Structure 1
Amino acid sequence: MSGTVCCSFSSVFVILNILLCILFVKHSESQLIYESDKEDCDLRERIMKIEEENIRLRQEFERNKILVTFSATAKNDEKQTIRGPNEIVVYKNVLINVGNGYDPTTGIFTVPVSGNYVFFFAVEVQENKHLSIYLSVNNNIIAEALAGKIKDSFNTGSNMVSLFVRKNDRVFIRSHPGNSLTLDIRFTGNSFSGFLHSLT
């Protein structure tokens, strides 16, 4: 009888051990699933925060984006007569003026924001005429374009520069300081353009 009881206790002990092992395994599996789900949730949350930050940065960039560009030419049906040196060439035919820096009544581009700008300018002269023009910043000569004399034909000259200018600097095109000719600025071969390339 006692042997039977011992055997029964042994069987119960074995069964309990098996049940405990099963519970431990189930618990471990549940723990792993929980930890995996938690890591997945944490990862998703981090990704959502990164996406939200990217959206915020894009919106901030769009709000703070600064665009400055202008382009103007002489008119085909209206002329400006240059009669001497240091006369500002006035390009009245405005093609674009984002930032409102260019004034078609004076021919002067007033820099709305400091930065690196690119400027392009061109001169066109009638047959048997020649003219040098200068890009000036606050009356300081920066670069020249020359249209030489050609018999019985128009001629053009152009130049392009990239430079740093400060807010409220005045950029314009003027005739050569030694010019003694009288000639007409007319037609779209005469042009003045610029745009903000970068803020630094």
Structure 2
Amino acid sequence: MSSFACTMLLVLVAVSHFKQILAGGINDCPKFDCEYKLLERVVKTDYVQKEMENALLQLQKEVTTLKTSLEERDIAIRKHLDNESKRIESKVIGFSVSSTGTLAKHQLIVFNDVIYDPYKAYDRNTGIYTVPVSGTYFITGSIYVPTNNHVQTEIIAGGQSVTRMYAYSPNSSEQGANSVVVDLKAGSTIFMRVEASSSGTLYGNRWTSMSAVCLKPDLSAS
């Protein structure tokens, strides 16, 4: 029963009750109170039901809006990841550089010969490579020293010393090399520096070098 119909019924009952009062007084109509209260309860119940229906409709609208928003965001994320995947697949992530020169303690080795760097992430002025994409990286370094030189270097990646190279040549030139696999975040850095106990020089002409390649990009972290 609609609230309008219930309201009209209450009015009719009230009119009937008023007529009974005029005819013989309210005490002569004990049945009226029960009927009136029952109808009043029906009207209130109908009102509450309407309010609940309206609230449910509003909730359904909000759920639909939220679902649409999440679907649009999911599509945007998938599109972004697909574009990033295509961009990364088009170029191998990594670099390869070489250098020479006299070394000082804890000096960063600046490799001035950039062999490979498609993302332009290596700074030939500072000797620092900035990781463009998060992922698992293979890093390798090689040093070559002339006779009567003692050089020990380390590669710093993501703020940590990840591998060391050592070359000592009392009677002839000597080479030292090492490699490591590490997980790095985009924006972290890679560089090679001389350790405190070293002294001497390094051969150039690509005898001394450092390289890195991303084995497995982590697109979700970039």
Q: Identify the TM-score tier after normalising by the shorter chain.
A: 0.5 to 0.7
2:98 aligned to 73, 88, 101, which one? 73
Query: Are 2:213 and 1:195 aligned?
Result: yes
Long gaps (5+) in structure 2 = 1-81
Contact 1:87 1:175 in 2 (8 A): yes
Q: How far apart, CA to CA, are the structure 2 residues paired with 1:62 and 1:168? A: 20
TM-score scaled to structure 2, two decimals? 0.56
Using CA pairs under 8 Å that are at least 6 residues apart, name the structure with larger relative contact order, 1 or 2: 1
Residues 149 and 114 of structure 1, relative CA distance in 2, 3 Å threshold? same
- 2:107 is the alignment partner of 1:87: yes
Query: Which of 1 and 2 has greater Rg?
Result: 2
Aligned residues: 136
State the partner residue of 1:124. Answer: 144
Distance 1:93 1:62, change over 3 A: same
CA distance in 2, matches of 1:182, 1:148: 10
Contact 1:67 1:99 survives alignment (8 Å): no
Aligned pairs for 1:176-195 (under 5 A) are 176-179=195-198, 181-195=199-213
2:119 paired residue among 99, 118, 124:
99
Question: Partners of 1:60 and 1:145 in 2: how far apart?
Answer: 35
User: Partner of 2:185 in structure 1?
Assistant: 166
- AA aligned opposite 2:201: L
| Percent of residue pairs identical | 23
**For 1:16-55, what aligned pairs fall within 5 Å after superposition?**
none
| Separation of aligned partners in 1, 2:84 and 2:112 | 36
Report what 2:194 is aligned to: 175
Considering fraction of residues, name the structure with more helix: 2
- Paired residues of 1:81 and 1:185 also in contact (CA < 8 A): no
Shift of 1:191: 0.4
Contact preservation (8 Å) 2:158, 2:184? no
One-letter amino acid of the counterpart of residue 176, structure 2? G
Q: Unaligned stretches of 5+ in structure 1?
A: 1-57
Verify the 8 A CA contact 1:82 1:185 in the aligned structure 2: no
Q: Distance in 2 between matches of 1:138 and 1:106?
A: 16
Instruction: Give the secondary-structure state (helix, strand or coil) at the position aligned to 2:86.
Output: helix
